[in-house]
Chains A and B, each alone.
Chain A
Amino acid sequence: MTSVTDKLPVAVGRPLNLILKVMRLIVTVSGFVMAGTFLFVVLVRNFGGNLFAFEEWLMAISFWGFFMGAVLASERRMHINADILSVIITNPHLAWWRQLVVQIIEFVVTMIISYWAYLMVRDEILSYPIWQTTAALKIPFLFWRTGIFLSFIFMSVFAAAHLYVHIVDRNAPASGRAEVTS
């Protein structure tokens, strides 16, 4: 499958490809960790044991997995939408303009959410040394909040990348959506 990064200038596309590789790894590992942990929890409990405060580190890892998955979805343009207009509008010129408006809105809104995420992380850093932490393992909230912040930043980057490609490549399909898979 062609990635949007392949259509970007090499200097931009190559580092993004590297970042995507790291994200894929995080998503895959977090998926296995989530499933494996619960099997382990059930087994340990049935043998009379207890996996102390596992929820705290598991949620931290899961948050990274969720939000990096959302970035990969942005890269593949797989986020759910009501694509009815792309079915109704058959005029390619009009369809191109509709898609442009959609991509500008997506870029602007994601950028604003990224700013809110920045405020969240900034407030957390500024509250040092009185950081919010989990109750038992004292994992700083900053750990997964950084993941949320980075995910919105990269979702903005990919929204911008799609917008750039849409403008540069005027022959691209009006609805550049990837197939929805489960």
Chain B
Amino acid sequence: MIIFGSIAIICGLLLLGVSVYVAFGAVLMFLAYTGGHDVAGYLPSGEWKMNTIVLLAIPLFMIAGGIMERGRIAAPLIALAELFIGHIKGGLPAASVLASGVFGSISGSANATLTCIGGIMMPHLRKANYPDGLSAALIVNASPLGLLIPPSASHILYAWVAQQSVLKAFLSTVIPGIILITLLIIVNQVCLRKYNDVKVTERPKDFLPMFGRQSIKAFPAMLMPGIILGGIYGGIMTPTEAAGVAVIYAIPIAIYVYKGLTWKTLAETVQNSGVTIGIVMIMIFLVLIVSRFLIFEDIPNIAKDMVYSVSDNPIVILLMVNLVMILIGMLMDDISGLLLSTPLLLPIVQGVGMDPIHFAAVLGVNLGMANVTPPTAPLLYLGAQVTETPVNRLLWPTLLFIIFAWMPTLVLTTFVPSLSLWLPQLLLG
């Protein structure tokens, strides 16, 4: 009754277009009504759970992402990628994917990646006669790469909820991220076969000197993930401290090196990031309360029993878990999805012997895909605005990318554990 009621409320309200935090508030009202809980204890329980320094990594990464977004740091990264593969057919879109991977890693924000890379690359792609819908969809589908290429704020959140190593969670999605990059490029190349009027630039004759110049320009931006990962891996900083240092590092880089910000616009940028932080944190707050009460009502075990009553075959169970995560992802944003999925699904997958770090990778790929899967596909709608392409022209190519790039990545990540466990075991033991 509680499971189905909660699902019905969430689905109904989200499909109607109600904000995610309000939908969770409505679920809490339902839980209060059916469970007979004391509503006075609701909000303090969320505040207790949220009162942890680990969680500050998320807003800090968002501020760093906001500064990087406004700081014009995407341009040298794109120029570098273009230099390598811009001279072949499909090279320019492939450069967008690579730049999204690198920029996503630096900013940790899919929105920032989409805004920056999409804003710069789309006019280039149009000028070179690449088809609008396909190019825009490719940029949209590449923008969640930041969730897979470390450092990623959502992995910090997962590690906190699941009580796992942050570094291992970071490393678990590196190989799935590389697979996704490769598949996105391949699918795009295949789709481009029928377009014969694409203009291709010539490979520069002075390649090496240009490569040197572009590398120097891109170096300060590319140093950022190095500082974060090096700081955490070297034991100098915790993930939250690294996120704080990333913000402070990003400020002079954006103002003095790339000159995209001034001290005046910096305050505005931090304020805008603060609004985004507010959006995410209020959802985290309410989802934490909902998940606490779902655990209180023993819902994870009930869900586990329900899944096992269908089949005890690990393959079937993992397929069902993935299906549930896809459905969760289709309805809500990645952070809420992560907070809701982890306590509910982790006991189920551990029951079939899945390592929690392996699950971090599966969850990462699922949530990345969720960001571009309608109806709650914030990146799809944002992508339509950024690239000035109608949403309906993005839908078909996005479906192709989901079926032929995201889905195979998800299947491989789910059923080949070594793809996500090999690197953490190699580097961290």
Contact = CB atoms under 8 A, between A and B. Distances in A.
Contacts of A7: none
Contacts of B112: 182
A55 B244 CA distance: 13
A38 B22 contact: no
A106 B115 CA distance: 29
Given A102-B17, A180-B378, A31 B274 contact: yes
B282 A37 contact: no
Contact of A34 (B17, B60, B237): B60
B331 interface: yes
A85 B17 contact: yes
A82 B375 contact: yes
Interface in A166-182: 175, 179-182
B333 interface: yes
Contact of A175 (B17, B19, B42, B63): B17
B381 A69 contact: no
A31 B278 contact: no
A151 B241 CA distance: 27
A27 B278 contact: yes
Interface string A24-36: 1001101110111
B11 to A, nearest CB: 10
Interface string B261-289: 00000010011111111110111011000
Given A34-B60, A175-B17, A120 B278 contact: no
A83 B385 CA distance: 14
B162 interface: no
B111 A182 contact: yes
Given A31-B63, A42-B236, A70 B19 contact: no
Contact of A67 (B17, B278, B382): B278
Interface string A112-156: 110011011001000000000000000001001100100100000
Nearest to B29: A112
Contacts of A11: none
A31 B275 contact: no
Which interface class (under 10, 10 to 19, 20 to 34, 35 or more) fits A? 35 or more
Q: Is the interface of B mostly helix, strand, loop or mixed?
A: helix
Contacts of B42: 116, 120
B188 interface: no
Interface in A9-28: 24, 27-28
A78 B47 CA distance: 23
Interface string B231-265: 10000110011011101100000000000000000
A105 B248 contact: no
Most buried by A among B65, B277, B385: B277
Contact of A59 (B16, B51, B375): B51
A32 B267 CA distance: 9
Contacts of B267: 28
Contacts of A181: 111, 115, 272, 275-276
Nearest to B112: A182
A140 B26 CA distance: 29
17 contacts: A27-B275, A42-B236, A59-B51, A66-B59, A70-B282, A73-B279, A79-B20, A80-B332, A81-B14, A81-B19, A81-B376, A82-B331, A98-B17, A105-B22, A109-B18, A112-B29, A120-B42
A-B pairs with lowest CB-CB distance, top 8: A69-B278, A38-B244, A182-B111, A84-B375, A27-B274, A35-B247, A70-B278, A79-B19
Interface of A: 24, 27-28, 30-32, 34-39, 41-42, 46, 55, 58-59, 62-63, 65-73, 76, 78-87, 98-99, 101-102, 105-106, 109-110, 112-113, 116-117, 119-120, 123, 141, 144-145, 148, 151, 175, 179-182
Interface of B: 13-22, 25-26, 28-29, 39-40, 42-44, 47, 50-53, 56, 59-60, 62-63, 65-66, 69, 109, 111-112, 115, 231, 236-237, 240-241, 243-245, 247-248, 267, 270-279, 281-283, 285-286, 331-333, 374-376, 378, 381-382, 385, 391
